[in-house]
Amino acid sequence: MADTLYFSRDTKVYLEIGSSIWEMPVLDGFSYSQATNTSEITLNEMSDASGNSRRGRQMFTDSYAPAEWSFSTYARPFVASGSGDADTVAKHHAVEEALWALLVGDATYASSSFDNITNGLSDMQVSFANSNKVTLGTCNLYFVLGGAGTGTKTTYKIEDCCVNEVGVEFDIDGIATLSWSGMGKIITEATAPVATVTEGASGTGNFIRNRLTNLVISSTSPTATTYDLVLTGGSITISNNMTFLTPETLGVVNQPLGHVTGTRSVSGSFTCYLNAEADSSADLFENIIEGTSTITNDFDLTFKIGGTSGTPRIEMAMANCHLEVPSHSIDDVISLETNFHALPSTIDGSDELAVTYVGA
């Protein structure tokens, strides 16, 4: 009898919020798993009169650990046709828009838009204004194995998923990619869903080339300077630092209850060649390392992924960044790597980052 095998390249991923279901085209390397928390009881006693000693042990399952998932998607902004399932108006959207909504707020969806995302006629803006919450929005994720064929399919559902982190990589020879990860309550088998929002997912004109990426950087402290840097690579990581709560009642296998948010952090790095021209990377290094009286420096960074004016593109603006001292990398061409931390304008603010999508 022939075995039924599943290939990762046939997998389909769907995201469900309420009655709406999005198809999420993912890259190779996705994962999902769930473990158990156990206790071990052992016997350790001295010899009896016959020289015997009990040496057994017993295992108990205390609880399920939260399910963990991760996958990568391309950043794919598009303009709705107005007659598709994304929107009835030709506004700007993104294939991975629902994941952004989950990362930054409640992800309430109505009338083709999320409460924390502004879909306009010229761009799509992701707002962090409502992200100072104890809990954020949740969704159900479905991994449909064998989804491309007509044979046997197996679908795994992860309930009440939260988006904990996203990483943006600037691979110079690659396509703009977002690495998503998070947690959920439990993994179960389910019926494969039918997507209700698929517009843009099968398009070929909404990919962003990293090689076109431009960095606009200026500072007010330690010196007021606008720098002219040309990137060779970089990354941005946005994390909610979430934890999952699980009860510890005796005599039952406890299941995770839900998540709570931690400190939000936005950080990353960028690399460029060491350049001795005025207001270039050599001056950036010099101004930072000689600013010994500056406790927290203040830089304005805007990454224009995909170019300064072309489409599609993404702009990630961070108005209050603290830069660490750049480190030299000694290769054939000497380069600098600079780590940065995006900060809010006030300690209780939520304006570390502004994300703008412009569709093709």
- Mean pLDDT for each 10-residue chunk of the chain (360 residues)? 78 97 97 96 93 93 96 97 96 98 97 96 96 97 79 92 96 94 97 96 94 95 95 97 94 94 98 96 97 95 95 97 97 97 96 96
Kindly list the distances between the CA atom of residue 5 and the CA atoms of 145, 152, 292, in Å, as whole numbers in the listed order. Answer: 10, 9, 62
Question: Per-residue b/e over 220-243, b at no fewer than 16 CB within 10 Å?
Answer: eebeeeebebebbbbbbebbbebe
Residue 264 corresponds to which tokens in the numbers above? Answer: 């939000």
What integer pLDDT is reported at residue 150 of this predicted model? Answer: 54
Q: What is the pTM of this model?
A: 0.95
Cα–Cα dist 13/180, whole Å: 13
Helix (H) or strand (E) holding 301: strand 298-305
Polymer length of the chain: 360
In 89-216, where does DSSP find H-type helix? 97-104
What integer pLDDT is reported at residue 1 of this predicted model? Answer: 45
